[in-house]
């Protein structure tokens, strides 16, 4: 199965089932197709032995394309929140986890560069520091209740301040874990960025790594809060 993305071409097929000549022929076809589309090549495989000449291998075991395509689909659940009385209310719910993650990432970067200190994950992500992680967590804990008070509440979506702070803390931890998890995946295949769609910032996966983990958690928390 071939799945075209904004800056990647995913091949979901165990190459070990094909003979050597067929593997080479298919790999050549994939390269030409990716070059024409301006994409990178990603082989989602059970093992690194099934590379068959692809430029990038993403070993996700059973996860396959669900990691890249399934987790973002939780945005649809947020968009149709029961507590949202209007389309704009649903939009406010969708941007809730996004705003918290963006605030966390921005504060983490600022604190990391400004304070420095011990590394959070020196092998997987050398630039991340404990100061950045703490700064990002604090920012998320502040932004979440502010979003609830000034964005969600005007649309009739009421969430207790304690739960909002807890949500911010959870999102900060989960989001930063997702960021490091993708660093591990890239480290496995020996690449710095998942793609080049955003010059200087990597690919789409690099921009969404935190959200992949945060979105399903958001659905769970908001379901407990009675919003979904």
Considering only residues 147 and 37, tell me which one the structure prediction assigns the higher pLDDT.
Answer: 147
Q: Answer yes or no: do 33 and 82 share one domain.
A: no
Q: Which of 5, 13, 70 is nearest to 40 (CA)?
A: 5
Cα(109)–Cα(141) distance, integer angstroms: 16
pLDDT above 90 as % of the chain: 44
For residues 82 and 13, membership in a common domain is answered with no
Same domain flag for 118 and 14: no
Provide the 3-class DSSP secondary structure of residue 177: helix
Query: In terms of domains, do 40 and 143 share one?
Result: no
pLDDT value, residue 4: 39
Least confident of 15-29, 34-48, 63-77, 143-157: 34-48
Q: Are residues 133 and 50 in the same domain?
A: no
The pLDDT tens digits for 156-183 are: 999 999 999 999 999 999 999 988 888 7
Give yes or no: residues 187 and 84 share one domain: yes
What's the length of the chain? 228
Helix H, strand E, coil C: the string for 11-59 is: ECCCHHHCCHHHHHHHHHHHHHHHHHHCCEEEEEECCHHHCCCCCCEEE
| Percentage of the chain lying above the pLDDT 70 cut | 66
Separation of alpha carbons 179 and 112, rounded Å: 15
Based on the fold, state whether residues 146 and 181 are members of the same structural domain: yes
Residue ranges making up the domain that contains 11: 2-64
Distances (CA, A) of 197 to 32, 83, 187, 206, 217: 18, 36, 19, 10, 27
Beta carbons within 10 angstroms of residue 71's beta carbon: 18
114 confidence band (pLDDT: 50, 70, 90): very high
The answer, as to whether pTM is greater than 0.75, is no
Predicted pLDDT at 208: 82
> 38 and 55: one domain?
yes
Cβ atoms of 164 and 173 within 8 Å: the answer is no
Q: How many domains does the chain have?
A: 2
Using pLDDT thresholds of 50, 70 and 90, give the confidence band for residue 48.
very low
Same domain, 204 and 133: yes
């Amino acid at each position: 199965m071939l799945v075209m993305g904004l800056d990647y071409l995913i091949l979901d097929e165990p190459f070990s089932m094909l003979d050597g000549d067929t593997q080479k022929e298919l790999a050549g076809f994939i390269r030409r197709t990716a070059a024409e589309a301006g994409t990178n090549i990603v082989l989602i495989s059970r093992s690194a032995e099934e590379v068959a000449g692809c430029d990038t291998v993403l070993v996700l075991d059973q996860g396959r394309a669900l990691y890249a395509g399934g987790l973002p689909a939780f945005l649809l659940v947020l968009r149709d929140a029961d507590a949202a009385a209007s389309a704009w209310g649903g939009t406010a719910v969708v941007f809730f986890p996004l705003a918290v993650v963006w605030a966390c990432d921005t504060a983490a970067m600022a604190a990391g560069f400004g304070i420095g200190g011990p590394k959070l994950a020196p092998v997987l992500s050398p630039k991340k520091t404990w100061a950045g992680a703490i700064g990002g967590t604090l920012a998320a804990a502040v932004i979440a209740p502010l979003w609830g008070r000034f964005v969600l509440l005007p649309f009739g979506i009421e969430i207790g301040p304690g739960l909002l702070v807890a949500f911010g803390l959870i999102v900060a931890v989960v989001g930063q874990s997702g960021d490091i998890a993708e660093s591990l995946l890239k480290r496995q295949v020996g690449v710095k960025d998942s793609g080049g769609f955003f010059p200087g910032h990597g690919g789409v996966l690099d921009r969404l790594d935190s959200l992949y983990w945060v979105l399903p958690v958001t659905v769970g928390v908001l379901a407990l809060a009675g919003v979904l």
